Amino acid sequence: METTTSSTTAQIIDKDQLLTHWLGHRKVTRRTLEAFPEKDLFEFSIGGMRTFAQLTKELLAMDGPTAKGLATDEWEAFDEEKTELTTKAALLSAYDDATSTIEKYWKAITMEKFQEKVVAFGQYEGTGYSTLFYIIDNETHHRAQGFVYLRALGITPPNFWEQY
Amino acid sequence: METTTSSTTAQIIDKDQLLTHWLGHRKVTRRTLEAFPEKDLFEFSIGGMRTFAQLTKELLAMDGPTAKGLATDEWEAFDEEKTELTTKAALLSAYDDATSTIEKYWKAITMEKFQEKVVAFGQYEGTGYSTLFYIIDNETHHRAQGFVYLRALGITPPNFWEQY
């Protein structure tokens, strides 16, 4: 029996579209980071929550390492301390580096990987797709909390729907 | 040339998994709604934002109607007023009804629909997948804002990662 190429079979979302979706969310997160005054980024929070700088460090511990992990099966230790990131400029630069890491490893992620079992960071069991969807959702979740911090500071956040 | 069934071709996420993903997010949103004291649900907000009741009404205007729209190509007018939803019990009931609507229409959404052009609510151009991903992301976004409201009220929100 001949097999068809994947392009002839209906996909819910294809790999290029998923990368565009992910990078689109990252553009909104980067604009959110940019919108914070330096001081508030590291000091402001509500209800005992983490600052947006701390939340961003969590995102940075997950994004590039997940792309690399899915591409190579090598998972770095989960590191959200990143004590060297003490300025807004350093966070923005690290965020851009993570975007480059994602773009670098994306092609090496196989289509099969999304349905394979993955133990992310050596501890979180799931599949490739569930791991990736989780970290995109987690970024959407924490960025939305940053939106509330900005509103509380009297600053208009970026538009959620402008993911380009 | 023979064609293979879709199950033999690698998918990033299959249709059953996408429904589970969507309903999993809804479980967290429902717990968030449940965590609000009645009064705060309709009155509390931060920085001039909408109350969590108002945000929930926006979600209700999108969720069931999107499942129906993708299944039938019939899009209801976008209605986030829902003036009858004046109690927490009414919001929870409407939320459960929307979950039933999603479950009812899901099977009727074709795999092809996810890649077809869609004009959601007669005004938002996209594809089936981009429309659905957008409304799930929008729910994640507004629910996260509800998490901050809860923290500001001294209430522990549900666990983000318990999507079951």
Tens of pLDDT along B59-91? 999 999 999 999 999 998 888 887 889 999 999
A60 versus B3: which is more confidently predicted?
A: A60
Q: Do A46 and B151 touch (CB under 8 A)?
A: yes
Q: Indicate the CATH number of A19-152 among 1.10.15.40, 1.20.120.450, 3.30.390.50, 1.10.240.10.
A: 1.20.120.450
* Cα–Cα dist A121/A69, whole Å: 8
Comparing A5-9, A20-24, B12-16, B84-88, the range with the smallest average pLDDT is A5-9
pLDDT at residue A39 in the model: 98
Domain ranges of chain A: 19-152
* Cα–Cα dist A36/A44, whole Å: 10
- Spans in chain B with pLDDT lower than 50: 1-7
Asked if the model's pLDDT at residue A81 lies above 90, the reply is no
Mean of the per-residue pLDDT values of chain A: 93
Distance from CA of B96 to the nearest CA of A (A): 22
Tens of pLDDT along A114-142? 999 999 999 999 999 999 999 999 999 99
From the centroid of its chain, how far is CA A31?
Answer: 14
CATH superfamily of this structure's domain B13-152: dinb family like domain (1.20.120.450)
A7 confidence band (pLDDT: 50, 70, 90): very low
A21 in a known ligand binding site: no
Q: What is the mean pLDDT of residues A140-164?
A: 95
pLDDT at residue A16 in the model: 96
Q: What percent of chain A has pLDDT over 70?
A: 95
pLDDT at residue A86 in the model: 95
Chain B residue closest to A152 (CA)?
B47
pLDDT at residue A40 in the model: 98
A1 confidence band (pLDDT: 50, 70, 90): very low
Two tokens at B127?
A: 């594809």
* Cα–Cα dist B17/B22, whole Å: 9
Asked if the model's pLDDT at residue A10 lies above 80, the reply is yes
Q: Do B12 and A15 touch (CB under 8 A)?
A: yes
* Cα–Cα dist B14/A77, whole Å: 30
Interface check A123 vs B, CB under 8 A = no
Tens of pLDDT along A34-45? 999 999 999 999
Interface check B49 vs A, CB under 8 A = yes
pLDDT at residue B83 in the model: 81
Please work out, in degrees rounded to the nearest 5, the angle formed at the alpha carbon of residue B156 by the alpha carbons of B152 and B160: 110
- Do the Cβ atoms of B157 and B151 come closer than 8 Å? yes
B154 contact residues in A (CB cutoff 8 A): 47
Q: Which residues of B143-160 are buried (b: 16+ CB within 10 A; e: fewer)?
A: bbbbbbbbbbeeeebbeb
